[in-house]
Amino acid sequence: MNYEVVIGLEIHLELQTISKLFCGCSTAFDREPNTNCCPVCLGLPGSLPVFNKRAIELAVIAALALNSEVQRGSRFDRKNYFYPDLPKAYQVSQYDRPLARGGYLEFEADSGVRRVGLERVHLEEEAGKLQHAGNSIYQAEYSLVDYNRAGIPLLEIVTAPQIHSGREARAFLENLRLTMLYAGVSDCKMEEGSLRCDANISLRPPGSDRFGTKAEVKNMNSFRSVEMALDYEVGRQAKLLDAGSIVVQETCHWDEVNKRTISLRDKEESSDYRYFPEPDLMPLQLNNSFIEKLAEKMPELPRQRLQRLLEQYGLDKEAAVLLTANPGLSNLFEETAGIYGRYKDLANWIQGDLLYQLREQGKEPVEINPNQLAELLKLLDEGVINRPVAKELLSEMVQRGLSPKKLVEDRGLTMISGPQKLVPLVEQVIADNPEAVESYQKGKKKVIGFLLGKVMDLTGGRADPGEINRILKDKLKD
């Protein structure tokens, strides 16, 4: 039977502040365990939290970027539960008065522009990290805990149940990540855990206005696994419903190795969090000018940049989408476009050869000097060098940051062009290869490639093959 798939996502983002949400400890990722800690983030008896203003600013920027309505008054609450990675046995979070309500994210999907609504955006603190000597905390002989992460500001974004496939969930997440990267609020690295996603998924007959019983899927560690896990869940639930049985409301883990979801029917599940207002923090009051100032300074977001790449530079959609999806590349494009006017050529070079070289050499777009890139393309346009030489120079430019102009001068790579230089070389090749010339004149036109190669060899690869081709054809007519 056919079902309508209903998916809602719950996304957690670590905000990129220098210090933690309630204390001055560093948020750096790769430190020795338990070295970025203090009485506050360890929850030592008597310690108290104090807001990190930057975390609140980033949370507000994120909310604004998601068109979510920032609340003038919001409140922090305690979510109480016992777990060794939670130093106070409660997480300071926001319950019934979140930082922002509503909102949406728009993105390009297969079917055109998609808009997925949001329920809320709120701020909370991160827990520590556990490492079990065994499969789970209940089976492990012992577990180790690192509190470096405890207290890092975490943004929770909850979508409306408006996503209808694994593929769409993935597209939403990729675009959410992009929006948050553009807004500068998080580095959104799923592999480092700074972006995490849980999903609620249920099936219902098409057209039904009631939701089916949902399952909550956790432990999806990449965009790809989100798509696979949700597709798997759709299949599992459909099979149950087709067979006339029911879906049990439960939490399951995505098993990346066996590509299946596993039900978590153990003690980790039961929970009455006993939320109540956090008495150690005053309710958060944000005045209009605070919010307006952040709104004014809002960086350009992906949708706006895409629009601009299309309109201002006249790029085609494919190139514009590709550049938008890579903020580093599109920044390089725009900086170079300020000094180099052939935008489409520039875009082609960036998304083609340059991107290839960056990946090949493990470099970031930000490491490329826009002046050098413009210089290279101008040398090509002016006919000083040919395309193969340009590619070679690009590689050296990416690798060592060397100026193309200087390389050309140092190595004498200037293109050999003009009849004055080329005609004698063509004549020499014709004289040296009478058999080839003969077969050409007998109609084997392909032989011209061989002759062209010979002339190129004589120029050390520094001529324009098109120009040689023209001269060759001309001379072979004689």
Partner 1 sequence: MELFEYSAYELSKMLQRKKTSSEELVRSYLKRIELINPRVNAYITATPALALDTAQSVDNKRIRGEELHPLAGIPVAVKDNISTAGIKTTCASRILEHYIPPYDATVVKALNRAGMPVLGKTNLDEFAMGSSTENSAFFPTRNPWDLEKVPGGSSGGSAAAVASGMAPLALGSDTGGSIRQPAALCGVTGLRPTYGRVSRYGLVAFASSLDQVGTLALSARDTALLLNLVAGPDPHDSTSLPDRDRDYIDNLTAGVENLRVGVIKQNVADSFDREVTAAVLKAASLLESNGARVEEVSLPMIDYGLSAYYLIAPSEASSNLGRYDGVRYGYFAPGKDISEMFCRTRGEGFGPEVKRRIMIGTYALSAGYYDAYYLQAMKVRTMIRREYEEVFKRYDILIGAASPTPAFKLGEKTSDPLQMYLSDVCNITDSLAGVPSLAIPGGFHSSGLPMGLQLTAAPQSERLLLQVACFFEQHPETKPRRPELDFIESPPEEGGM
Site residues for partner 1 per CB under 8 A: 39, 42-51, 78, 80, 82, 84, 87-90, 137-138, 143, 145, 267, 272, 274-276, 279-282
Instruction: Give the phi and the psi of residue 108 in degrees, each rounded to 5.
Output: -75, 125
For partner 1, the closer of residues 39 and 449 by Cβ is 39
Q: Please report how close the Cβ of residue 56 comes to partner 1 at its closest, in angstroms.
A: 13
Output the smallest distance, CB 45 to partner 1, in A.
Answer: 4
- Least distance between partner 1 and beta carbon 392 (Å): 59
R_g over Cα of the chain: 30
Rounded to the nearest 5°, which phi and psi values hold at 440?
A: -60, -50
Region label for 193, one of left (φ > 0), alpha (ψ between -120 and 50) or beta (otherwise): left
Residue 1 beta carbon to partner 1: minimum distance, rounded to whole angstroms:
36
- Give the nearest distance from C-beta 74 to partner 1 in angstroms: 15
Residue 274 beta carbon to partner 1: minimum distance, rounded to whole angstroms: 4
Q: How many CB atoms lie within 10 A of CB 112?
A: 6
Helices 302-311, 327-337: inter-axial angle, 10-degree rounding: 40
Write down the H helix ranges in 155-262. 166-183, 223-242
- Looking at this protein, which amino acid is placed at residue 72? R
Nearest-approach distance from CB 275 to partner 1, in angstroms: 8
Nearest approach, Cβ of residue 12 and partner 1 (Å)? 22
CB of 267 to partner 1, least distance (A): 6
Q: Which is nearer to partner 1, 148 or 357 (CB)?
A: 148
Give the contacts of 60 (CB within 8 A, at least 6 positions apart): 70, 99, 100, 286, 290, 291, 294
CA torsion through residues 400, 403, 404, 410, sign: negative
List phi, psi (to 5°) of 469. -55, -45
As measured in angstroms, the least distance from the Cβ of 279 to partner 1 is 4
User: What 3-state DSSP class applies to 73?
Assistant: strand
Considering the complex, state which of residue 78 and residue 214 has its C-beta at the smaller distance from partner 1: 78
CA separation (Å) from 86 to 34, 81, 109, 147, 208?
14, 8, 39, 9, 41
Q: Is 145 or 456 the residue whose CB approaches partner 1 more closely? A: 145
Nearer to partner 1 by Cβ, of 49 and 103: the residue is: 49
Whichever of 82 and 210 has its CB closer to partner 1, that residue is 82
Give the nearer residue to partner 1 in terms of CB position, either 23 or 354.
Answer: 23
Looking at the Cβ atoms of 38 and 310, the one nearer to partner 1 is: 38
| Of residues 22 and 333, the one with the C-beta less far from partner 1 | 22
Nearer to partner 1 among residue 78 and residue 177 (C-beta): 78
Q: Which two tokens stand for residue 234?
A: 């759709």
What's the min distance (Å) between Cβ of 32 and partner 1? 17
Separation of alpha carbons 176 and 432, rounded Å: 64
DSSP for residue 301: P
Q: Which helix (H) or strand (E) holds 60?
A: helix 53-65
What element of type H or E holds 101?
strand 100-101
Smallest distance, partner 1 to C-beta of residue 65, A: 27
The residues, any chain, with a CB within 8 Å of residue 245's CB and separated by 6 or more, are: none
- 239 or 274: whose CB is closer to partner 1? 274
In order of 7, 27, 28, 121, the CA distances from 37 in angstroms are 38, 10, 11, 27
Q: How large is the greatest C-alpha to C-alpha distance in the chain, in angstroms? A: 98
Quote the tokens at residue 88. Answer: 């106070």
For residues 141 and 296, which CB has a smaller minimum distance to partner 1 in the complex?
141
- Burial class for 264, CB neighbours closer than 10 Å (0-12, 13-18, 19+): middle
